[in-house]
Structure 1
Amino acid sequence: MNQKIALITGAGSGVGLACAHRLAKDGFTLVLTGRQQDKIDAACATLDGQGHIAVAADVGVEAEVDALFERVETTFGRLDLLFNNAGRNGPAV
């Protein structure tokens, strides 16, 4: 099994989605994640290749991150690349 597995947070649009398209063209199998399942499902449907999955998760919620990585482990058995692209807004410090 030479297929590389990549997880991209914030993958529903913008830089995350653009990187997903590049990695898919390069032969990666992708796990796209974002807070809105419908948005990442739509993004996943636009990718070249097969076997990609979309998993809704808010990276600001520890239990959702744990569930995300459990899904990656049970589905693929490993992760070769993580692109932590998700953005968070909060009060200025």
Structure 2
Amino acid sequence: MTYRELRPGANWQAQSACRREDPELFFPIGDTGPSLVQIEEAKEVCRDCTVLEPCLQWALDSCETHGIWGATTEAERRRLRRPARPA
């Protein structure tokens, strides 16, 4: 299910696993050291989420630059948005 496939006006975020978590978990400061543990903990919540795909698609479409969305970091989403290089 993508966020576009939800009924018009549907709030996919209301179905997210992260709604029951501390929001700070999904906004680590940095991407090294102790932040790596926090990033992995946030991604683990995402991996069990029923709306992982719509969440990731929203983050990609909106060019979200902060936080963990759809089990991805900002750097991972940046790589996903890059056009593929010809072989």
TM-score (norm 2): 0.29
Higher Rg: 2
Structure with a larger share of its residues in helix: 2
Select the structure with the greater relative contact order (CA < 8 A; seq sep ≥ 6): 1
TM-score (norm 1): 0.28
